[in-house]
């Protein structure tokens, strides 16, 4: 991987991490387009650079979390199912699903169809006073969101897409579930990256570490703008555009890859 590859992948990660389009699918597809070999380092790279995007969330929301331990506890409850399933299926995910573009394509298409169907039938419920803030999302709903997020261990599903649609189906407002999804990404990505670095049979050279750092920096910068855009977007728009985009991208992958 050269500098240009790292820059492009960092930009792709930053823009797609928090949108319901699957950043992992986009990184794998971008790597294929750039003709980057699917080495163990590349697979680790596309997991590790997510930390840059997550840092943007940490800087934006650290006061809200530190000042309210209820939110932190509910994020932790939601994280547990993903951690359990991700640990059990780690080798299958990295050694098989990362290389299976047919699975990725169908995950994108099915996810897009679900988004369109959901938006067609969904008339957003007016959040009750009890659920008007993040801290008032119940522990049960937090755990259910975590189970739904676990589906995103399949590349193409989209962690943010699964949690957002799942949360709205549980009656949580768009803005609240989007922010909850942002916060849930923090322990999820940190745990995934840490476990992958420990488990991967690679030795990180100085050049590899530099590549990881640069990728993380690029993803941080572009994630910062993507988060601000997404928060404004969801307050006035539906997710239909993401559903159509996912379906189109999935069809393109099936046709050409």
* 28-51 pLDDT, tens digit each: 999 999 999 888 888 889 888 999
Q: Which helix (H) or strand (E) holds 102?
A: helix 101-121
Of 10, 13, 230, 242, nearest to 108 by C-alpha is: 242
Q: Give the model's pLDDT for residue 225.
A: 93
* 98-154 pLDDT, tens digit each: 778 899 999 999 999 999 998 888 754 544 444 457 788 899 999 999 999 988 888
Q: ∠ CA(233), CA(114), CA(132), 5° rounding?
A: 50
* 155-187 pLDDT, tens digit each: 889 989 999 999 988 888 888 898 899 999 999
Instruction: Kindly state the percentage of the chain with pLDDT values over 70.
Output: 93
What's the predicted TM-score (pTM) here? 0.85
Where exactly are the structural domains of the chain? 3-256
Backbone dihedral angles phi then psi of residue 228, each to the nearest 5 degrees: -60, -40
In whole angstroms, what is the distance from residue 64 CA to residue 49 CA? 24
Contact predicate 7/218, CB 8 Å: yes
C-alpha pair distances (Å), 227 with each of 38, 76, 119, 232: 29, 21, 21, 9
């Amino acid at each position: 991987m050269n500098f240009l590859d790292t820059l492009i992948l960092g930009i792709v990660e930053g823009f797609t991490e928090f949108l319901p389009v699957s950043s992992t699918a986009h990184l794998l597809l971008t790597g294929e387009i750039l003709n980057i070999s699917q080495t163990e380092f590349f697979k680790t790279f596309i997991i590790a650079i997510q930390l840059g995007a997550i840092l943007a969330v940490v800087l934006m929301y650290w006061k809200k979390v530190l000042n309210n331990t209820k939110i932190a506890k509910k994020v932790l409850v939601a994280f547990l199912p993903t951690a359990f399933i991700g640990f059990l299926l780690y080798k299958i995910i990295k050694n098989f699903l990362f290389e299976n573009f047919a699975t990725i394509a169908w995950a994108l298409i099915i996810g897009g169809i679900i988004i369109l169907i959901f938006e067609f039938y969904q008339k957003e419920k007016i959040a009750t006073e009890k659920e008007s803030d993040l801290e008032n999302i119940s522990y049960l709903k937090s755990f259910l969101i975590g189970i739904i997020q676990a589906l995103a261990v399949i590349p193409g599903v989209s962690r943010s897409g699964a949690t957002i649609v799942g949360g709205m189906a549980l009656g949580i407002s768009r803005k609240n579930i989007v922010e909850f999804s942002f916060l849930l990404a923090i322990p999820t990505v940190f745990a995934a990256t840490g476990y992958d670095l420990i488990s991967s049979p690679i030795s990180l050279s100085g050049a590899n570490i530099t590549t990881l750092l640069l990728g993380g920096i690029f993803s941080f910068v572009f994630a910062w703008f993507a988060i601000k855009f997404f928060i404004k977007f969801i307050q006035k728009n539906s997710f239909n555009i993401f559903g159509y985009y996912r379906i189109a991208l999935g069809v393109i992958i099936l046709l050409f890859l």
